[in-house]
Amino acid sequence: MQSSGKLPCARQHDKVKDITKESWLSRLLAERWEQKLGDWNVLLENSAEDWRNLLYWRMAANFGFKTNAAPFLMLAQSLNINIPTKHKDHLMQIEALLFGQAGMLEDDFQDDYPRELQREYDYLRKKYRLKPIPGHLWKFLRMRPANFPTVRIAQFAALIYKSLQLFSQIIETHSIKEIEPLLEVTASSYWDTHFQFDAAQKVATKKSLGKTSVQNIIINTIAPIQFLYAARQDTHKLQERALQLLEAVPAEKNNITRLWDENGWSAENAAQSQALLQLYNNYCSSKRCLECTIGLNIIKAS
């Protein structure tokens, strides 16, 4: 309790047996998913048990990553998945629906592309009686341009255009080599020279969803939804496959996993990095050492 370090057991956890650590990490991952999937169950019930809708909502939130997850989820919930499905052969119409519902088509634009999106959205908005979310919800400050919500929305539109049968493909596929290509999308050509509307960049670059982003989606959306689906079907074999999928993804790199690295406990894969995030956020940061298997082992040994 008197330790001033971020990890109270930083100099002692190496005394705990590896098998004890591995068992505790497995329990922490289960705990993390129990918390996350409890909220997902509510979303599933709110969508009349429509798994395709749940994937659409959670995938949207994931495309917003941490900063814009909330407005991205609001955007998806404001636009029933059946509407873009009706326009599956027209990428610009899908883009118009998403940008319009995001509240991003309300300015006087100079470029032809956003003006065309406006025309498409004006028609589709009246046809489907749509109401956009407030545009001020989106955050751009202190973000890398490649992560701007405009770029992410364009990439999300490309994903919807590429595969409207994504849920069935994801449920049937448990190999990372097969899942990654499903998520490899590139924003339409206008975004080669733009990060925002009417603001051309000097050097053209394809705005593809990077490998790290794809892995983030597998960790935070694909594997959990596979696990939840298997749990609902009471299929333990499929639950194991969802966990194995996480084990095939490299460990995440962030401030918390780096803290563990610096103190001699490195995650070998995404399953372990997710567990270490849970351990730090739910135990170490609030010094719940008496409720932690590692802490209890150290205390008993001393």
CA neighbor of 300 nearest in space, from 30, 9, 27: 9
Q: Which two tokens stand for residue 5?
A: 């370090």
Cα 42 vs. chain centroid, distance in angstroms? 18
Query: What Cα–Cα distance (Å) separates residue 100 from each residue in 64, 70, 145?
Result: 16, 17, 21
Provide the pLDDT for residue 47.
Answer: 82
Q: What share of the chain is helix, strand, coil (3-state, %, to 5)?
A: 65, 0, 30
Provide the pLDDT for residue 180.
Answer: 92
- Asked if 141 and 123 count as a contact pair (C-beta separation under 8 A), the reply is no
Provide the pLDDT for residue 120.
Answer: 97
pTM: 0.90
238-262: pLDDT as tens digits? 888 888 999 999 999 999 999 999 9
191-232: pLDDT as tens digits? 999 999 999 999 999 999 999 999 999 999 999 999 998 888
173-183: pLDDT as tens digits? 878 998 999 99
